[in-house]
Chain A
Amino acid sequence: GENVEQHPSTLSVQEGDSAVIKCTYSDSASNYFPWYKQELGKRPQLIIDIRSNVGEKKDQRIAVTLNKTAKHFSLHITETQPEDSAVYFCAASGGTYKYIFGTGTRLKVLA
């Protein structure tokens, strides 16, 4: 069935360093890939998304890359700050209406 794998499950970086989170999806019909940030006890917030007709998208310190052939997509956060600490979820959609979420990455930015 449809599946999204996400790695790593936890990630600690020093403030100012970069963080990279990787996801792999199984449904080749997927064509929309959002990333959500979830702080403790809060709702998932969309931070960036990418569609299958582009390979990379950037928004300030956040970028997402997509390799459709390999069914990989990645989130890159540069110049990390303590307020970037949260759980990040990738998702894949398009083959069906629902989002298939990854299992999440707990990012901790150390000051």
Chain B
Amino acid sequence: NAGVMQNPRHLVRRRGQEARLRCSPMKGHSHVYWYRQLPEEGLKFMVYLQKENIIDESGMPKERFSAEFPKEGPSILRIQQVVRGDSAAYFCASSNQGKGETQYFGPGTRLLVL
């Protein structure tokens, strides 16, 4: 019973490098959400994707951040030219349907920018 998978679990990058975070949704789920959690804070919505489509990216910074969910393979959250403020836990969630449906979370990727 594979749940939502994320990798890597921990990622260390130096300022200016790229970070690439992967998320495989639960089997049968076609809706993926990315959230960011800063230390000692709640989760903030970043982006919502369905296969090959970005539905809502209202929570994602317009620069340096991008997300995709290709027809085959995992969803990718990409952060270019990372800065120290990008250090956070990034959680992916998936659901079977969209609006108003239960979202199941992955274990998260903890990004540390040196």
Contacts and interface: CB of A to CB of B under 8 A. Distances in A.
Contacts, number: 57
Contact of B106 (A34, A36, A43, A100): A43
A93 B41 contact: no
B44 interface: yes
A97 B107 contact: no
A89 B58 CA distance: 21
Interface in B98-114: 98-108
A51 B102 CA distance: 11
Interface of B: 31, 33, 35, 41-45, 48, 55-56, 58-59, 91, 98-108
Assign chain A's interface to a size class. Answer: 20 to 34
Contacts of A36: 105
A97 B43 contact: no
5 A-B pairs with the lowest CB-CB distances in the bound complex, closest first: A98-B45, A32-B100, A94-B100, A101-B42, A43-B105
A42 B106 CA distance: 9
Interface in A38-52: 42-46, 49, 51
B17 to A, nearest CB: 24
B48 A44 contact: no
B100 A93 contact: yes
B50 to A, nearest CB: 10
